[in-house]
Amino acid sequence: MSALPSVEKRQERLKKADLKLQQVISSIARREEKAEKEYFSFFCRKINMFWRGSLLAKSSGKFSCSSSCNSCGLCQKVCPANNIRMMEGKPEWGPNCQECLACLHHCPVNSIEFGSRTVGRERYRHPRITVQELLRQD
């Protein structure tokens, strides 16, 4: 829903994330107890509660699919919440969306939009995660 950072910035962020992940793994291995700074987690919790309680349920109505959809069904297969059904070759979104936007970012022909803010925006796929790895096994 916002412009993607440059390729260099993305790589920089992925490197930082790797570093952070290593720190977290080490902390867990050493059984350290680390609390996040309370003021930050307090606001995060509040925002998260509001989002879960009021906004998430309205997500499904925001999705649309353009006529470029080729009925491949990939959006349905990558949805971790099993929230998409294919109806007459087109996706339909159910009420259990988690707003991960995997469906939108993996559509091979970019035919999915989420409201108006994704229109014309570049799509993003993590460079080290394949579509095969995302497919639900059910």
| Contacting residues toward ligand SF4, per CB under 6 A | 65, 69-75, 79, 81, 83-84, 91, 93, 97-103, 107, 109, 111-112
Q: How far apart are CA 96 and CA 11, in angstroms?
A: 32
Minimum CB separation of residue 76 from ligand SF4 in Å reads 7
Q: Which of 111/118 has CB closer to ligand SF4?
A: 111
Minimum CB separation of residue 90 from ligand SF4 in Å reads 7
Closest CA to 91 of 100, 137, 82, 50: 82
Q: State how far the alpha carbon of 80 is from the alpha carbons of 51, 68, 86, 88, 101, in Å.
A: 19, 24, 15, 22, 10
Q: How far apart are CA 68 and CA 2, in angstroms?
A: 23
Minimum CB separation of residue 30 from ligand SF4 in Å reads 35
Q: Which of 23/70 has CB closer to ligand SF4?
A: 70
- Amino acid of residue 55: L
Q: Are 86 and 76 in contact (CB under 8 A)?
A: yes
Minimum CB separation of residue 68 from ligand SF4 in Å reads 7
Q: Which of 89/127 has CB closer to ligand SF4?
A: 89
Q: Which of 10/81 has CB closer to ligand SF4?
A: 81
